[in-house]
C-alpha cells in the first residue's frame, strides 16, 4: 500500500485536476451533452499500470482505463480517473486538503478545481451567467 507522501509525489508529477466546462459561446448541437464535468486523473505509461491499480485501491474509488496513442514516439498509456462527484467530494478533495501538494502550479489548479467543484455542486453551471463564470475561471487552470 502507498504512503500519503508517495501519492502526493505521484500526483504532483503525473496527476491533474481538471474540469470540462462547455464554452457558453458555442451554440451548435454538440455530441457531448455534459455542461460541466470535474475529474481527477493520473496517466502513466502502459508498463506502469500496476501503479495506477494500486492508486485505485489506495483511494477505494475510480477506474483505470487504457488510452491508445498512435502518435510517433509515444507509447500507449493507462489512466486512473475519478469523475464520480461523491467520490471527488468525499475522498479525493479531502485527501488533498489534508495532504498538501508540493508544486505551486498543482496547488493552484487544485484550489481552482475545488472552487469550480463547489459551484457545480450548487448548480451554478445550469444558468447562462453561472456557466460563463465557470468557463472563465476554468481558463485559469494550467
DSSP secondary structure string, 15-66?
A: EEEEEEE--TT--SPPS---SEEEEEEEEEEGGGHHHHHHHHHHHT--EEEE
Distances (CA, A) of 86 to 19, 128, 138: 15, 25, 21
pTM of the model: 0.90
pLDDT, position 136: 95
Name the residue ranges covered by the structural domains of the chain.
Answer: 4-138
At 25-60, the pLDDT tens digits run 877 666 656 789 999 999 999 999 999 999 999 999
Q: Count of alpha carbons within 13 Å of 66, Cβ hemisphere only?
A: 4
Average of per-residue pLDDT across 107-121: 97
Q: Are 63 and 80 in contact (CB under 8 A)?
A: yes
Q: β-strands 36-45, 63-67: how paired?
A: unpaired
Can you tell me the mean pLDDT for 81-94?
Answer: 98
pLDDT digits (tens, 9 = 90+) for 56-87: 999 999 999 998 777 777 778 999 999 999 99
The predicted pLDDT at position 84 comes to 97
Cell matching residue 124: 451554478
Whether residue 101 contacts residue 107, with contact meaning beta carbons closer than 8 Å, is answered with yes
Rounded distance between C-alpha atoms, residue 39 and residue 62, angstroms: 10
CATH 3.10.28.10 fits 4-138, yes or no: yes
CA distances from 36 to 42, 47, 52, 116, 123 (A): 20, 32, 25, 9, 10
CA distances from 96 to 35, 40, 49 (A): 25, 11, 22
* % of the chain surpassing 70 pLDDT: 96
How many C-beta neighbours within 10 Å does residue 131 have? 19
Q: What is the pLDDT of residue 34?
A: 73
Mean pLDDT score of the chain = 92
Average pLDDT over residues 99-112: 97
For residue 4, pLDDT beyond 80: yes
Percent of the chain topping pLDDT 90: 77
Amino acid at each position: 500500500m502507498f504512503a500519503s507522501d508517495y501519492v502526493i509525489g505521484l500526483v504532483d508529477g503525473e496527476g491533474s485536476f481538471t474540469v470540462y466546462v462547455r464554452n457558453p459561446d458555442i451554440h451548435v448541437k454538440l455530441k457531448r451533452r455534459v455542461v460541466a464535468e470535474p475529474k481527477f486523473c493520473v496517466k502513466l505509461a502502459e508498463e506502469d499500470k500496476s501503479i495506477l491499480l494500486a492508486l485505485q485501491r489506495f483511494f477505494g474509488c475510480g477506474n483505470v482505463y487504457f488510452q491508445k496513442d498512435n502518435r510517433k514516439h509515444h507509447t500507449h498509456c493507462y489512466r486512473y480517473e475519478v469523475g464520480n462527484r461523491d467520490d471527488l467530494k468525499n475522498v479525493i478533495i479531502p485527501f488533498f486538503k489534508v495532504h498538501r501538494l508540493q508544486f505551486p502550479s498543482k496547488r493552484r489548479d487544485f484550489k481552482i478545481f475545488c472552487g469550480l467543484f463547489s459551484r457545480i455542486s450548487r448548480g451554478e453551471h445550469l444558468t447562462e451567467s453561472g456557466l460563463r463564470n465557470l468557463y472563465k475561471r476554468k481558463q485559469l487552470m494550467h
